[in-house]
Amino acid sequence: MATTALQHSPMVIADQELNNLKASNGDVLPKIGLMKSSSPDLPIEELRRRYEEDGYLWIKDILDKEKVLDMREQYFRFMTENGDSGILKQGTNPRDGIFSGEDWRQFLLPGAIRVANGLKDEGVFVEKTLKAHVAHFYSEFKSDIAEPLENFVGKLAQFQDPMLLKRTLLRCNVPSGETTPVHYDQIYLRAGPPTSVTAWIPLGDCALTGGGLMYLENSVEIGKKFEADFSEKSKDLTEEERLSAFNKNMMAGGFLDRNAAVFGKFWGRRWLVAPYEAGDVVFHNPFMIHASARNESPEQAIRLATDLRFVDKAGPFDERWLFEAYQEADPNVASRQPLGSKKKTHM
């Protein structure tokens, strides 16, 4: 059987497994590659070199696996008990996070992706999602990992005073549903310099077919080009509009494309994917282009993840991220924005 070896790890994966991965709308991704993994025990200079060269750094086993799985279990209990959102299959173990099979549209996250689908932020799932972002179990999980990750990011990005931004997101991608469209993060962090570092944390094992995050190979330069074009087009807008991810020059929700297959083909790049495990973290550059794959888990496992962002408190950063996600004061929710268009921006 033909195999593809990962450069930084001994893991091998059958090519066949790679050739059937899909964008969230079901289109087969034309060109796929595997991400390189790294051990957290490597010298920081080498990890930094990889991060700078690749635009991402996939670190194995940096978090306590059981704590990550506990977080997964508590999230699904929360979404089911005292008001059932309907996301879990009845009679299954919440730690497994098995999807009920109801209409996936109900389970789109509030804000940008619901906006992109023309849906309102309402219903039990939306209400519980908003509350989950400030629930005790999630705050505790974050405070547990904040310090070690701040220390790691501080060394990786050479920050003087690394800080986890308060606004963090919890995202569930149900099987066969639309997942996170193509984007780069600086679109949402424009009120600061492009120096933030995102940490994407799968909350549970996530096989290649499980709807994990994927990166467009060597795409930092493409992200920079988009941002320069957007800045040029937005010259005549007010400062607030210019900094908004939802201004009239952007596609609805601030995304670049909802079809990762078409986007990858247009730019002639491979989408890089990985078989993630609970305990892994991927760090990425704010210009690195990424999206989520379609979740085709044979077990119907829901893909749960959280994304955290780190900045250097000693320098300027986007202060709109100092608010808890979705709460009253959060200025970043797409559905609360008057602006935004249906523009296609990649061609």
Residue 185 interacting with ligand AKG (CB under 6 A): yes
- Nearest distance in Å: CB 238, ligand AKG: 27
- Burial class from Cβ neighbours inside 10 Å (0-12, 13-18, 19+) for residue 41 reads exposed
> Given the rule CB under 5 A, which of 8-16, 89-97, 185-193, 333-341 is the region that contacts Fe ion?
185-193
- Nearest distance in Å: CB 231, ligand AKG: 21
Q: State how far the Cα of 249 lies from the Cα of 239, in Å rounded to an integer.
A: 14
Positions 63 through 92 that interact with Fe ion (CB under 5 A): none
Residue 200 interacting with ligand AKG (CB under 6 A): yes
- Nearest distance in Å: CB 214, ligand AKG: 10
Q: State how far the Cα of 82 lies from the Cα of 211, in Å rounded to an integer.
A: 28
Positions 26 through 65 that interact with ligand AKG (CB under 6 A): none
- Burial class from Cβ neighbours inside 10 Å (0-12, 13-18, 19+) for residue 228 reads exposed
State which residue, 69 or 115, has the beta carbon closest to Fe ion: 115
Structure tokens at 312: 């250097």
Q: State how far the Cα of 203 lies from the Cα of 281, in Å rounded to an integer.
A: 10
Element holding 292 (H helix, E strand): strand 290-292
Positions 157 through 176 that interact with ligand AKG (CB under 6 A): 171, 173
Q: State how far the Cα of 296 lies from the Cα of 17, in Å rounded to an integer.
A: 12
> Given the rule CB under 6 A, which of 31-39, 179-187, 258-266, 267-275 is the region that contacts ligand AKG?
179-187
From residue 21, how far is each of 24, 94, 180, 275 by CA, in Å?
Answer: 10, 26, 15, 12
Size of the site for ligand AKG (CB under 6 A): 12
State which residue, 300 or 303, has the beta carbon closest to Fe ion: 303
- Nearest distance in Å: CB 198, ligand AKG: 5
Applying CB under 6 A, the residues found at the interface with ligand AKG are 171, 173, 179-180, 185, 198, 200, 213, 290, 292, 305, 307
Applying CB under 5 A, the residues found at the interface with Fe ion are 185
